Structure 1
Amino acid sequence: MHIGLNAHLLAPEGTYRAAGIHNVIHNLLMYLPSQAPADWQFTAMVSSHIDAHYDGIAMQRAAFDTTSPLKRIIWEQAIQPSILRQFDLYHAMAFVAPAFNPRPTVVTVYDLTFLRYPERLSTARRLYLQAFTERSCRAARRITAISHSTKNDLIELLGLPADKIDVTPLGYDRERFRPLSEAEIEAFKAERNLPERFWLFVGTLEPRKNLLTLIEAYAQFAPHERLPLVLAGGKGWDYEPIFAAIGKNGLSDSILTPGFIPSDDIALWYNSAEVFLYPSVFEGFGLPVLEAMACGTPVITSNVSSLPEVAEGAGMTLPPHEVDAWVAALKQAYGDASWRSQASTAGLSKAAQFTWEETARRTIESYQRALA
């Protein structure tokens, strides 16, 4: 059995693209061979500039760099179909398969942001995903969704049959995301001049992350009743109201915005924070919540979209727009050390249930269903 993997969203390590979908593709390439029958072969189709190597995966590089969306679409729709006949099964690892596709196909869908929050995307990208994702999913033998929330959206928004969709929850890097020693944490805080105690959010600063609700709740506490709040992440679309709310509430000295965090530092930030706050209203999976839990950091997050799938039973989950609920949660986070200890322990236990081996195993099962 020969499986072809469209891995053109794989990015060079150390670049800003080496996150999100790249992270999922990278880990599937790491773990698929070990979860597959011994006689299966895998070939990953990648851009010409990718020099990565994976055990058990043959790398087939394109004749040109497909980093730009236009070049990738040209390769995907015009060149890729002629390559696919060598495979028994084709896996489109990010939303879209070629329109002319001669092989049984599995398509992975991460979220339906382009339908739920179309304003987040450029017009061209939105129209492309809206047109090609639905067509690809209807033509595919199987669809893998990274959460039950995404599966439900595929059923609700695209009218796809539930029995065609397999849920393949994500894992995390257990070497990176783990509790660190006090010495490592204190050295990091000293190097970055961070407060001894602080609350943390990590993610793009944009409306979907619902930071205005968090800021409104935070503003209701006197300075001696709260910790400094770090909003760590790059500026996304329509980020200006976030900074306006910080200024309007006189919180410029209490809310820190260090900007984008390099991937090598994220685990140190999670470990250094007293509590991780993630009030997002929509996530395909919610990997930051899982990573924070894996570091032993107590989590408070929203009770919508995919977030309860990750945090329920471990962290505190709240209605995203109910300011009073967030005020009460922050009060407990500040004053209740026993809750923080319990949430830390429960988070570590819940995080351990999510592994890349399991993601790969479920993906192999989806392949087998597609070939049955």
Structure 2
Amino acid sequence: MRVVIDGLSILPGSNQIVIEHLLRAWVDAHPGDELHLLIGPDAGLTVPDGVGTRTIDLGRRRYLGRLRAQATVVPRLCRTVGADVMLGTIPSTTVTRLPCPRAVIAWDLRHELRPDQFSTAARRLRKVSYDIGFRQADAIITISERTRDDLLRSRPWLARRIVRAAQLGSDHADSWPRTVPETPYALTFGQWSNKNVGLVVDAWELLRERGPLRPLSVVGLGTTAREALAADIARRGLDDVVRLQPWLTDQEFRACFASAGLIVFPSDFEGFGLPAAEAMRLGIPLVITPEPALLEVTDGHAVVTADWTTRALADAVVAAGATDDAALAAARERAAHFTWRRTAEATRETLAEAVRRVRPARRSRPT
């Protein structure tokens, strides 16, 4: 199979991590496939051997440069290599006519279902570009059944298209360095508003009133957010139990995550919930909220808060501290279900289905 991959939107972060692992697993499973990847100079991607890569200069105005490249370079490359299919790594991809079927990856619909977490401009941009991408796509690959359900619920006409889930992998965490800290700590995340770091700090304040508790380490905060939260923590007198980490390198983050004694992940919206899968893979007790993607991923192998209140989160943290070895082993068995090879196979099969369905239909049309 010859696949052109529009990765011009990739930037360092979750998108980059997922595509990197997907490509590596794809090359290992199907070395005979031709994968042609287009990326910008700041993608931060380590591309595996066997993937043909073209780095495109997007200019100072990155978004406009990406639109130009998607309109011209993507279709030209599809024609040059004789692509069987084009895959966009987000729904916003080329709108130009292609000589092959097109597919896109849908991560989530958070901008529609949690609009308060986005600026007006960001919501409008996503709405317009994503709607065009969904309407033009011959196939859509979602990263969870939750995202697939959201998509079909909001756009029931997509039931006539190919919409398949390719759940993400967790086996990359097997190589993360792990140490046993002198003082076991809990880990939580603060990079986006949906992670609800404020709720976690509230819970730690409540837990301290109940007695001794493990320290909390917060990762993922930018400088401004970290300074604001540090002031709040100092005001509450929680400096001794809540530590705000500086921005960590990838290696530092992996070590910090893998060495934690508890992962606290009270997100109110996830497309998949990769930290939950990683925690189960590493055998770390896990607290989640009753959020659909997290319930899908954990499947009963995490402590779920009764509701979205501070007290419910504090109670769940206490319960997670009593997680036994048998429960952790069962969680690891659940996480073994999520491998990048499985993700790659599901993605490739969806693309192959689009080729089988779309190309004969196009050939049969009268000229």
Same-fold status (TM-score > 0.5): yes
Residue 330 in structure 1 maps to residue 305 in structure 2: no
Q: CA deviation at 1:100?
A: 1.7
Whether the 8 Å CA contact 2:168–2:343 is kept in 1: the answer is yes
For 2:127, give the aligned amino acid: Q
Q: CA deviation at 1:52?
A: 5.0
**Cα distance in 1 for residues equivalent to 2:317 and 2:47:** 45
- Picking from 343, 347, 350, the partner of 1:363 is 347
3-state secondary structure, aligned to 2:292: coil
For residues 242-285 of structure 1, the C-alpha deviation after alignment (integer angstroms, 9 at most, x for no partner) is 55653454323221111322211223212322211100100111
1:260-339 equivalences under 5 Å are 260-334=247-321, 336=322, 339=323
Q: CA deviation at 1:347?
A: 2.5
Query: What does residue 171 of structure 1 align with?
Result: 169
1:113-262 equivalences under 5 Å are 113-162=110-159, 164-174=162-172, 176-177=174-175, 180=178, 185-186=179-180, 189=181, 196-204=183-191, 206-222=192-208, 224-235=211-222, 242=229, 246-262=233-249
Query: What does residue 365 of structure 2 align with?
Result: none
Query: Cα gap change, 1:53/1:226 in structure 2, threshold over 3 Å: closer, same or farther?
Result: closer
For 1:295, give the aligned amino acid: L
Whether the 8 Å CA contact 2:87–2:102 is kept in 1: the answer is yes
Gaps of 5+ in 1: 12-16, 190-194
Q: CA deviation at 1:230?
A: 1.3
Query: What does residue 14 of structure 1 align with?
Result: none
- Picking from 45, 49, 55, the partner of 2:49 is 55
Provide the identity percentage.
24
- Picking from 83, 87, 103, the partner of 1:87 is 83
Query: What does residue 5 of structure 2 align with?
Result: 5
Q: CA deviation at 1:201?
A: 0.8
For 1:2, give the aligned amino acid: R
Q: CA deviation at 1:203?
A: 4.3
Whether the 8 Å CA contact 2:58–2:66 is kept in 1: the answer is no
Whether the 8 Å CA contact 1:216–1:323 is kept in 2: the answer is yes
For 2:102, give the aligned amino acid: T
TM-score normalized by the length of structure 2: 0.84
Q: CA deviation at 1:308?
A: 1.2
Query: Cα gap change, 1:241/1:152 in structure 2, threshold over 3 Å: closer, same or farther?
Result: farther
**Cα distance in 2 for residues equivalent to 1:233 and 1:154:** 29
Q: CA deviation at 1:360?
A: 0.3
Residue 33 in structure 1 maps to residue 30 in structure 2: no
**Cα distance in 2 for residues equivalent to 1:129 and 1:66:** 21
Q: CA deviation at 1:145?
A: 0.4
- Picking from 97, 100, 108, the partner of 2:105 is 108
3-state secondary structure, aligned to 1:171: coil
Q: CA deviation at 1:312?
A: 2.4
Q: CA deviation at 1:107?
A: 0.6
**Cα distance in 1 for residues equivalent to 2:157 and 2:324:** 41
Q: Give the number of equivalent residue pairs.
A: 350
Whether the 8 Å CA contact 1:10–1:26 is kept in 2: the answer is no
Query: Cα gap change, 1:344/1:312 in structure 2, threshold over 3 Å: closer, same or farther?
Result: same
Query: Cα gap change, 1:363/1:44 in structure 2, threshold over 3 Å: closer, same or farther?
Result: same
**Cα distance in 1 for residues equivalent to 2:164 and 2:86:** 16
Query: Cα gap change, 1:358/1:35 in structure 2, threshold over 3 Å: closer, same or farther?
Result: same
Query: Cα gap change, 1:319/1:35 in structure 2, threshold over 3 Å: closer, same or farther?
Result: farther
For 1:77, give the aligned amino acid: A
Gaps of 5+ in 2: 357-367
